Amino acid sequence: MSVVVKRSKMAKIICTHSGSFHADESLAVYMLRLLPEYKDSSLVRSRSPEDWERADIVVDVSGKYDGKKYFDHHQREFDTTFSPDHKTKLSSAGLVYKHFGKDIITQIVGPQDEGNLEILYQKVYKEFVEALDANDNGINNYPKDTPAKFSEKNITLPSMVSKLNPRWNLEPTDADFDRQFEKASELMGLAFHQLVEGYGLGWLPARTIVEQSFVQRFEIDPSGEIMILDQFCPWKEHLYSIEKDNNAEGQIKFVLFADSSGKWRVSTVSVTSTSFEFRLGLPQAWRGLRDEALSDAAGIKDGIFVHAAGFIGGAQSRESVLVMAQKALEFRK
């Protein structure tokens, strides 16, 4: 039996399967509805070939994938991944994102130049969609014999979607499943929308600032090992990526920036994004010093502090933290 949800005259028709639903098709339908072509679409949840045939696009059902109308991944021979560099087989969410992802991103954060759009396209897949693909295809993130330290089955998005399915002992009807599917699609969509906005309107502008500062590093110091951010932003993840793209991995030793109060900071750079070990620390002789004692030791007028571990320090002015960074490079020699 086919069930039609939100039918309207002249609307495009999206079709997915009826009955129990999962996170992947919940997101797939949400993403399609972001596209102008499917903005006012009707949704048909059906396992009937006749309904697939009359639909404009079919996701997570039909046993077909052609990249145009049919976007199912359940057929035995299916082995499509996001790109040759990826090993995770796609779910219906991954298939829709693979083909329409750039247009979907544009609908959320607005037009981007080709380079930035590609960066966002790759980032959103890596940080969100791939995990859904893996979950739906039964791919574990860790070896199966690794014991879990705690249960997280009730706090992941796929589990939350699963629990939106009507309870088995309520004798649910098709209408019950369809109503709950809309809630699942809204839940997945909210999480996806917020993530894309965060990357497109926060993460990506930060990359632009870091990239510009990286390009200008030799104007700051001939060594090219000191970078000054014209505006504070989350910089660490971007710095590692930008260094790698420019064959300059490990080059930057200190990053200078103004904090929210207008005072300046000199920060070391960790060896890796998850490491507490830094590439080059502030001098041992300065560590733990504050105010006048630090100013005297570092030869500046307005020192504030250097952390006892040597990974960060501060002064009132840009000029002083630059002197601190330059002298720290000299101490290394």
Domain ranges within the chain, ordered by starting residue:
13-141+151-201, 221-330
Count the Cβ atoms, other than its own, within 10 Å of residue 243.
Answer: 16
End-to-end CA distance of the chain: 78
Tell me the sheet residues that pair with 303.
Answer: 315
What span, in angstroms and rounded, lies between the C-alpha atoms of 60 and 27? 11
pLDDT at residue 125 is higher than 50: yes
Residue 8, pLDDT score: 47
**String of DSSP letters for 80-128:** -BSSTT--SBP-HHHHHHHHHHHHHHHHHH----HHHHHHHHHHHIIII
What span, in angstroms and rounded, lies between the C-alpha atoms of 207 and 123? 12
**Is the CB of residue 42 less than 8 Å from the CB of residue 57?**
no
pLDDT at residue 225 is higher than 50: yes
Q: Tokens 């992802």 sit at which residue?
A: 101
What span, in angstroms and rounded, lies between the C-alpha atoms of 181 and 183? 5
Which pair of tokens denotes residue 146? 């690794």
- What single letter denotes the amino acid at residue 243? E
Q: Tokens 């929210």 sit at which residue?
A: 260
**Is the CB of residue 14 less than 8 Å from the CB of residue 54?**
no
pTM: 0.87
- What single letter denotes the amino acid at residue 256? L
Q: Is 294 helix (H, G, I), strand (E, B) or coil?
A: helix
82-107: per-residue pLDDT in tens?
A: 999 999 999 999 999 999 999 999 99
**Is the CB of residue 69 less than 8 Å from the CB of residue 61?**
no
**Is the CB of residue 60 less than 8 Å from the CB of residue 90?**
no
Q: Is 184 helix (H, G, I), strand (E, B) or coil?
A: helix
pLDDT at residue 257 is higher than 60: yes
127-168: per-residue pLDDT in tens?
A: 999 999 999 999 988 887 788 888 888 999 999 999 999 999
Residue 272, pLDDT score: 86
Question: Mean pLDDT throughout 213-224?
Answer: 97
Q: Tokens 């570092």 sit at which residue?
A: 298
Q: If we measure between CA atoms, which residue out of 7, 65, 3, 57 comes closest to residue 31?
A: 57
